[in-house]
Structure 1
């Protein structure tokens, strides 16, 4: 008997929920960040030229909610505004933002190690390949 598509979808969602819940809990208590804040720091670390619109897309937010989040992160000293090309405003990590990103990265690594880290390297490779394949499958 094969596993239904619904059961697979639910298993993916449960794993995602486990990661989000535990990452939020640890980030909040150990670093004082939410998962969404850490994700913004991560994306700015990886793509320093990212616009707010790009950050909104990468963090699954609307432009409006990303703008409000960026404002709060500036007020907390995690981000700063910087001049961009033309009239554009970019955002950069502050020293505090870099520390939050680095501390949060270790926390996320530990959360993931407790779940997908329990798989063998070969199993992780297959899981990654299958998730990428499913994510890029054309809609029917």
Structure 2
């Protein structure tokens, strides 16, 4: 019996939630949330990004990301720096860099464990199928 596209979509969401739960538990030991680590990661990968750009990258509204950024500034994870014109940019502090990379190790460990059931060829095929779904065939 074949599963419906809706069933498959639900399975993808369940896998994502399993990853989130595992990462949340491990990141808590570093005293950082998954949302905070994701913001650090995107800020590190996109150092010239505006607050709006970072909100889009982290699947948040501008207002929600602004609130998050304020809390992260208060914790000493990021700092505001002047940008072009009236723009304000953000950058990681030394603590932010440390937690960004410690969190990356957590993410790598969680993903490696989760996908360890696949051979390298199966993982490559799965990745290709996901990219088709995300990017489309055209």
TM-score range, shorter chain: over 0.9
CA distance in 1, matches of 2:119, 2:45: 27
Instruction: Give the TM-score taking structure 2 as reference length.
Output: 0.94
Spell out, residue by residue over 1:21-64, the C-alpha distance to the aligned partner (whole angstroms, 9 max, x if none): 111111012x1111110011101111111111011000000000
Deviation for aligned residue 1:91: 0.1
CA distance in 2, matches of 1:118, 1:94: 37
Task: Map 1:1-140 to 2 at 5 A.
Answer: 1-29=1-29, 31-137=30-136
Q: How many residues align?
A: 137
SS at match of 1:85: coil
Deviation for aligned residue 1:109: 0.7
CA distance in 1, matches of 2:74, 2:26: 22
Deviation for aligned residue 1:135: 1.9
CA distance in 2, matches of 1:136, 1:103: 30
SS at match of 1:118: coil
CA distance in 2, matches of 1:63, 1:12: 27
RMSD: 1.2
SS at match of 2:116: helix
CA distance in 1, matches of 2:59, 2:119: 30
Stretch of structure 1 that moved more, 110-119 or 54-63: 110-119
